[in-house]
Amino acid sequence: MDKNTTEESNHNGFFSRNLVYLRGRLEGRISQQRLADELGLKKSTWAAYESARAEPKYGDLVKVADFFQVTVDELLRKDLSREPVQLPKVPELRVLATTVDVRNRDNVEFVPVKAMGGYAEGFGDLEYIGQLPAFNLPFLARDRKYRAFPYEGESMPPLKEGAVVFGEYIENWEGVKNGTICLVVTLDEGVVLKKVFNYLVEKDVLVLKSLNERFAPYPVRREDIKELWKFAGYFEADFPS
């Protein structure tokens, strides 16, 4: 093995170990999927980088370095876990309180009607989330986080009141496409299901629109939003008429 090959192998080893280390420094239990979403990468790409199964693209190196406030050279050539200097503060990600099964896989928690009133305040409380009924469904992706909520009202036909709506957790709010149907959590309204139009970058607001035209669209400020869940499906006990 020549010198260049040896150096390249060492750099790849540092890079993969540094990714695992840096992700571990983030507050909360941040999954590969959630961090990949934040960086605009595929989860499979991030996983391949962490396990040294893929060579990093230069553009991805720059994204990772900028996010963690280190240099590309440090990512490739240094074992950052052994650096004596204090690394810069890692930018905060939204931390999701969640529960896992015996195999350490994310559960789908169900927020029953009696718990809906407190969800907007308790969503970040591990004790509150830990008391919710939890289950798993084989047809939901394992690398995504889901939660189930009861649907109330008549603003989103054809859904009927009492249906159970499944939401996929959204980490990157700015990436939500216009017209996406989401469960939006705010302190004022609790959990509402609406079609979302995204003006967070330009005006720091989302505009929420019902499918029932009797309900007028309205804006919600970024600071009032607590969580976003992308509509992933629903369940109704009654056979459709």
Q: Mark out the alpha helices in the chain (DSSP H runs).
A: 3-25, 32-39, 43-50, 58-68, 72-77, 113-122, 126-130, 200-203
Going by pLDDT thresholds of 50, 70 and 90, the confidence category of residue 7 is very low
Domains of the chain and CATH, by start: 3-82 (1.10.260.40), 108-235 (2.10.109.10)
Q: Alpha-carbon distance 148 to 231, whole Å? A: 10
φ/ψ (deg, to 5) at 229: -130, 125
Q: Return the SS3 of 34.
A: helix
- In this predicted model, what pLDDT tens digit does every residue of 84-100 receive, in sequence order? 555 555 555 667 889 99
Tokens of 117: 């009133």
Q: Mean pLDDT of all residues in the chain?
A: 87
Do 30 and 43 touch, CB atoms closer than 8 A? Answer: no
- In this predicted model, what pLDDT tens digit does every residue of 98-132 receive, in sequence order? 999 988 889 999 999 999 989 999 998 889 999 99
Answer whether residue 11 shows pLDDT above 70. Answer: no
pLDDT score recorded for residue 8: 44
Express the helix, strand and coil content of the chain in percent, nearest 5 each: 35, 25, 40
